């Protein structure tokens, strides 16, 4: 996890700091330009899915596949932890990751159900 944080930190331009309000305003513009530099997406050509070539269903399917993989890993690590093959820290980390994935999946499901119900309530 620490490696992931350091990788994210390396994406921040060197001129950006968290010391003043002026730099936080500048950081928003810097982040936008950093994003458009890395992805090639600007405000003019920001059509959803064109930069990545992925549709909404691909993204949602990928999130659900990742969630299932996290849940399976947590279950496996829990069983291995009971057998003494995996450290307690690895078990806790995998269970916390699975919990986060499950909460994300539940929130996504709730939003989809809510959107479906809103659509069914519309008059034709």
Cβ neighbour number for residue 67 with a 10 Å cutoff? 20
Question: Residue 1 corresponds to which tokens in the numbers above?
Answer: 């996890």
Mean pLDDT over the full length of the chain: 75
Tell me if residue 60 falls in helix, strand or coil: helix
Residue, of 111 and 41, whose pLDDT is higher: 111
Provide the residue count of the chain: 124
Q: Which two tokens stand for residue 61?
A: 């399917």
Domain ranges of the chain: 8-43, 54-124
- For the stretch 60-95, pLDDT in tens is 889 899 999 999 999 999 999 999 999 999 999 999
User: Which is nearest to 97 in space by CA: 57, 68, 60?
Assistant: 68
Cβ(98)–Cβ(71) below 8 Å: yes
Q: Are 101 and 71 in contact (CB under 8 A)?
A: yes
The model's pTM is 0.53
Name which residue leads in pLDDT, 18 or 92: 92
* pLDDT value of position 70: 93
């Amino acid at each position: 996890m620490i490696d992931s944080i350091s990788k994210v930190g390396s994406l921040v331009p060197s001129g950006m700091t968290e010391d003043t309000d002026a730099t936080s305003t500048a950081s928003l513009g810097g982040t936008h330009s950093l994003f458009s530099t890395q992805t090639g997406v600007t405000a003019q050509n920001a059509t959803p899915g064109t930069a990545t070539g992925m549709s909404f269903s691909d993204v949602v399917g990928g999130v659900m596949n990742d969630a299932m993989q996290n849940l399976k890993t947590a279950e496996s690590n829990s069983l291995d932890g009971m057998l003494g093959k995996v450290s307690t820290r690895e078990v806790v980390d995998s269970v916390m990751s699975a919990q986060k994935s499950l909460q994300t999946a539940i929130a996504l499901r709730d939003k989809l159900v809510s959107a479906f119900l809103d659509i069914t309530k519309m008059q034709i």
